[in-house]
Amino acid sequence: AQSVTQLGSHVSVSEGALVLLRCNYSSSVPPYLFWYVQYPNQGLQLLLKYTSAATLVKGINGFEAEFKKSETSFHLTKPSAHMSDAAEYFCAVRMNYGGSQGNLIFGKGTKLSVKP
């Protein structure tokens, strides 16, 4: 069965510092990969998705993620954290069953805190 592991339920960085949120997936076939962000009392907003066109994916708000097949990882990074980045981040995978796409499987989430 597919699964997603997000290392670190809480990550704290200083404003202006590098943000690195880790995500590893388990699958024999590279799945579709997504990062979502959730602000308090809101739904999920898509940050970026892996489409297999390029291993380095750029998303909104300055975030990017690199797909590494050999490491089965899809870590999320941002060069310089901003106070507004404080939120919970979810990595998700979605399988492609020969053209029929399965449901999203989410990691447990990582809460990002940004210190002034």
Partner 1 sequence: KAGVTQTPRYLIKTRGQQVTLSCSPISGHRSVSWYQQTPGQGLQFLFEYFSETQRNKGNFPGRFSGRQFSNSRSEMNVSTLELGDSALYLCASSYRTSGLSIETQYFGPGTRLLVL
Binding site for partner 1 (CB under 8 A): 32, 34, 36, 41-46, 49-52, 90, 92, 94, 96, 99-109
CA dihedral 98, 50, 9, 24 (to 10 degrees): 60
Report the residue number, 49 or 72, with the smaller CB distance to partner 1: 49
CB of 74 to partner 1, least distance (A): 14
Report the residue number, 17 or 32, with the smaller CB distance to partner 1: 32
CB of 17 to partner 1, least distance (A): 27
CA distances from 20 to 8, 42, 53, 82, 96 (A): 10, 23, 22, 13, 27
Give the Cα separation of 45 and 8 in Å (integer).
20
Q: Which pair of tokens denotes residue 85?
A: 């980045």
CB of 51 to partner 1, least distance (A): 5
